[in-house]
Amino acid sequence: MEDKKYAADIESITKAHALIKPYVHRTPVLSSETLNSMAGKTLFFKCECFQKGGAFKFRGASNAIFSLDEEQAAKGVVTHSSGNHAAALALAAKLRGIPAYVVVPKTAPKCKIENVKRYGGQVIPSETNMQSRQETANKLLHETGAVLIPSSNDARIISGQGTVSLEFLDQVPQLDTLIVPISGGGLASGVAIGAKSINPAIRVLAAEPKGADDAAQSKASGRLITLRQTNTIADGLRASLGDLTWPIVRDFVDDIIIVEDKEIIQAMRYCYEILKVAIEPSGAIGLAAVLSDKFKQNPVWKDSRNIGIVFSGGNVDLGCYARSCFPLEESNDKKSGS
Ligand SMILES: Cc1ncc(COP(=O)(O)O)c(C=O)c1O
């Protein structure tokens, strides 16, 4: 693999793994005969919902923070993120004993803002639009001299997220296919490079919600497309690819599976009811993809047998979880007066 032109390679991912090993969990892999028979495949679920901070994001954040030199680290780190990256960065910064300034749009899910605060991050509110988020972050960078750590379009982050694939293939060497969610593309890029360096024949697929399908559109047109508006329940999957993640996704991710929100909700229910695991919408999309008719009917993907699915996160607000997973029961209950 000629990989020098990309932001990460197997050396940077292996190095990241060695650096973050003392801080991250080696997350477990679950399986279920029931889900296997529903999919007609053998499925393995890598439970990054049990990662520290509740999502794989802690891997990239730890790699970024622990690779800063003392002088850089002393001034702290800044990011703008509405979700799991923000909490992960706050936690990694706490472990290193440095400040984390997190710009969070006012509309971010409550449980995710609480996570940032719980880990000692300083929350700075902004408007929801990207311009306000960037301006607020730039002001902070200027005032504090801290280092900006983006959520996905960053070499340190991509390498850190790639460590998921090293662990997964070590735990289940017979995997012939991996399915990961895609948004900014940090996870998909790192996993695709890591997995294909270990096993060049492995198939790496990314799952993306229909209402935020910029990666699918970019792959189809061969150029980076970003969306002005998105509409999906998966709050972690609304961002677009960047100039570092796009070339990797273009060249190493085999295909994108587009998933409807109702399929994501059904997959969240299966996770809870069958596996007894609470997964957030963005984290359940891989299971939704493999159970979809689109996947089952695709002639190219038919030969995938041992499929690894990354459950990327479990940070879901309980109220939101109940409203998304049980809307029918709720309205039926109201109608029947129960
Ligand atoms: C739970 C979860 N899964 C997947 C993703 C997508 O990751 P990436 O932006 O690296 O594509 C995110 C991003 O926030 C996330 O929070």
For 139-149, what is each residue's pLDDT tens digit? Answer: 999 999 999 99
Instruction: Give the number of the atom of ligand 1 that is nearest the alpha carbon of residue 187.
Output: 10
The helix, strand and coil proportions of the chain, stated in percent and rounded to the nearest 5, come to 55, 15, 30
314: exposed, middle or buried (Cβ count in 10 Å: 0-12, 13-18, 19+): buried
Residue 335 domain-assigned? Answer: no
pLDDT of residue 3: 45
- What is the domain extent for residue 165? 10-55+154-324
- Please choose, from the candidates 91, 314, 36, the residue with its C-alpha nearest in 3D space to the C-alpha of residue 181: 314
Confidence class for position 4, pLDDT limits 50, 70, 90:
low
| CA diameter of the chain | 64
Distance from the alpha carbon of residue 152 to the mean position of ligand 1, in angstroms: 8
Please state, in angstroms and rounded to a whole number, the distance separating the CA atoms of residues 78 and 25. Answer: 24
Average pLDDT estimate for 71-94: 94
Instruction: Say if residue 139 is in the same domain as residue 220.
Output: no
Average pLDDT estimate for 186-196: 98
Residue 337 has pLDDT above 90, yes or no: no
Percent of the chain's residues with pLDDT above 70:
95
Pairing of strands 29-30, 42-47: antiparallel
Residue-wise over 131-166: b if at least 16 C-beta within 10 A, else e? ebbeebbeebbeeeebbebbbbbbbbbbbbbbbbbb
Domain count for the chain? 2
**CATH code at 62?**
3.40.50.1100
Residue 334 domain-assigned? Answer: no
| Residue nearest atom 10 in ligand 1 by C-alpha distance | 186
287: exposed, middle or buried (Cβ count in 10 Å: 0-12, 13-18, 19+): buried
Instruction: Say if residue 225 is in the same domain as residue 276.
Output: yes
Residue 68 domain-assigned? Answer: yes
Residue 336 domain-assigned? Answer: no
Choose which residue among 312, 315, 320 to substitute to test ligand 1 binding: the one with the highest number of ligand atoms within 8 A of its C-beta: 312
pLDDT of residue 181: 98
Choose which residue among 152, 214, 218 to substitute to test ligand 1 binding: the one with the highest number of ligand atoms within 8 A of its C-beta: 152
Lowest mean pLDDT among 104-108, 116-120, 273-277: 104-108
Residue 229 phi, psi (nearest 5): -135, 145
Beta carbons of 260 and 210 less than 8 angstroms apart? yes
Residue 161 domain-assigned? Answer: yes
Q: What is the DSSP letter of 273?
A: I
Confidence class for position 295, pLDDT limits 50, 70, 90:
very high
Average pLDDT estimate for 110-134: 89
Residue 23 has pLDDT above 50, yes or no: yes
Helices 186-198, 245-252: crossing angle, 10 deg rounding:
40
Confidence class for position 322, pLDDT limits 50, 70, 90:
confident
Instruction: Say if residue 24 is in the same domain as residue 81.
Output: no
**Which residues are marked as active site?**
57, 82
Q: Is the CB of 280 under 6 A from ligand 1?
A: yes
Q: How far is CA 122 from the centre of its chain?
A: 23
Distance from the alpha carbon of residue 171 to the mean position of ligand 1, in angstroms: 22
Tens digit of pLDDT for each residue in 145-184?
999 999 999 999 999 999 999 999 999 999 999 999 999 9
Tens digit of pLDDT for each residue in 226-255?
998 899 999 899 999 999 999 999 999 999
Distance from the alpha carbon of residue 333 to the mean position of ligand 1, in angstroms: 34
- Please choose, from the candidates 207, 219, 185, the residue with its C-alpha nearest in 3D space to the C-alpha of residue 308: 207
Instruction: Say if residue 197 is in the same domain as residue 65.
Output: no
Instruction: Say if residue 267 is in the same domain as residue 195.
Output: yes
Rounded to a whole number, what is the distance in angstroms from the first to the last CA of the chain?
61
The residue among 148, 168, 192 that closes a domain is: 148
Please state, in angstroms and rounded to a whole number, the distance separating the CA atoms of residues 249 and 190. Answer: 9
